[in-house]
Amino acid sequence: MAAVIFWVMAVVAVLGGIGVVASRQPIRSVLSLVVVMLALAVEFLILSAQFLFAVQIIVYAGAVMVLFLFVVALLGPMKERRQLRFQWGLALLVALVFGGFLYSMLGSVPFRAPQRTALSVFGTVQDIAYGLFTKYLYPFELTSVLLLVAAIGAIYLSRGGHGIQARREEDDRRA
């Protein structure tokens, strides 16, 4: 049962990934990415990581992708028609390079079966909270500081800080 669901969702996720890059309409690309996120969430659930499943949907599919969709819908339903001159050749080259990297690196990754004894506590809210607030407390807090810095930066740029405001006024005067 779990294997069947895994393969179905794996195919769905890969098809969604293809949809992201192959769609001509930006809105279709965004929705394909939502499909990828949802398929990955189901994969988490098969690994009995229930909390990750819920958070993956709430944060990525429910909030981040809605903002993407919001921006795309605001910018208008433009179809992407432009193509670079050597786009196909370039794309193929990049894909081959990354495929080579993946192939050479995957060989050295050790794959283990999940430890079955711990499955009743693994992935529960309590388990993840325990990990986050004991063993991984400092990395966790550092990541949140990083996010805070990004948020402050975004506010500074959009509000127009001291230097930015002066430069904008200068631009206006020139125009």
Partner 1 sequence: MNHLYLSYPNPGGIFSNPVGYWVIVALAIVFTLFVLLTATAYTVWYERVLLGRFQRRPGPNRVGPLGLLQLAADGIKLATKESFAPAGVDPILYLVGPAVMVAAAFLAWAVIPVGIWWGFSYWISNINVGILFVFAVSSMNAYAILLGGWSSNNKYSLLGGMRAAAQLISYEVALGLSLVPIFIITGSLRLQDIANFSVHWGPYHGPIPLVIVAPLSFVIYMVAATAETNRTPFDLPEAEQELIGGYHTEYSGLKFTLYYLGEYLNMVTVSTLATLIFFAGWHPNAPWFPAFIPFVAKIVGFLFLYIWLRNTLPRLRYDMLMRLGWKVLLPLGMANVVVTAAVVVALTG
Q: How far is the CB of 163 from partner 1 (least distance, A)?
A: 27
Site string for partner 1, 78-97 (x = CB under 8 A): --------------------
Q: Report the alpha-carbon angle 99-104-106, nearest 5.
A: 90
Residue 57 lies near partner 1 (rule: CB under 8 A): yes
CA-based torsion, 66, 72, 73, 78: positive or negative: negative
Least distance between partner 1 and beta carbon 59 (Å): 9
Q: Based on CB atoms, which residue is closest to partner 1, 13 or 72?
A: 72
Count of residues touching partner 1 (by CB under 8 A):
24
Task: Tell me the helices (H) and strands (E) count for the chain, helix number first.
Answer: 8, 0
CA 108 to chain centre: 25
C-alpha pair distances (Å), 20 with each of 16, 32, 113: 6, 5, 31
**Least spacing, CB of residue 58 vs partner 1, in Å:** 5
Instruction: Determine the Cα–Cα distance for residues 141 and 138; give it in Å rounded to an integer.
Output: 5
- 73 lies in the binding site for partner 1 (CB under 8 A): yes
Among 58, 97, 149, 150, binds partner 1 (CB under 8 A): 58
> For partner 1, which is the closer residue by CB, 70 or 136?
70
Query: For 16, phi and psi rounded to 5 degrees?
Result: -60, -40
The SS3 assignment for 72 reads helix
For residues 133 and 141, give the distance between their C-alpha atoms in angstroms, rounded to a whole number.
9
Among 2, 11, 22, 67, binds partner 1 (CB under 8 A): 67
> Does 23 sit near partner 1 (CB under 8 A)?
no
Answer for which of 12, 29, 46, 62 binds partner 1 (CB under 8 A) is 62
- Contact residues: partner 1, CB under 8 A: 27, 31, 34, 41, 48, 50-51, 53-55, 57-58, 61-63, 66-67, 69-70, 73-74, 77, 124-125
